[in-house]
Amino acid sequence: MTEKCNKYEALFIFGNDETLQKHIEECEDCRKEHEKMQKVSELLKEVRPYYRQKRKNIAKMKIACAIFTICFSSVTLGVINLNTDISDTIKYGSTLTAEDLGLPVDSYGFIMVE
């Protein structure tokens, strides 16, 4: 029984192209391994544009979500800050009146001016 050659990986990673090609021409096991690697390399080259496009689409989606969040939160916070009834209800549970604020009011709830 013959042992399978295991030099391909070492030559591929650490050796130069000339040494690797010379060994591939001489060794049948490494030639088969090299053919498998070439097939995998071709498949990766074929699929690469799809993954790049997918990455670009994900980046565009993240940007769109960030813009939407900024716009939505700025509009919502703007409405809450401009409408004191809403902000009082959120902060205190009910709308504050002039009397709650400690201002002098008459029997109708209007501020008294002296």
- Residue 97 · residue 87 · CB < 8 Å: no
**Tokens, residue 46:** 């074929």
Q: Is the pLDDT of residue 1 over 50?
A: no
Euclidean distance between CA atoms 13 and 87, whole angstroms:
65
- Residue 109 · residue 98 · CB < 8 Å: yes
The pTM is what?
Answer: 0.48
pLDDT band at 2, cuts 50/70/90?
A: low
Q: Give the burial string for 90-107 (b: 16+ CB within 10 Å, else e).
A: eeeeeeeeeeeeeeeeee
Cβ-proximal residues to 23 (8 Å cutoff; 6+ apart), any chain: 7, 8, 11, 15, 30
Angle between helix 17-26 and helix 28-82 axes, rounded to 10 deg: 130
Task: List pLDDT tens digits, range 25-74.
Answer: 888 888 998 999 999 999 999 999 999 999 999 999 999 999 999 999 99
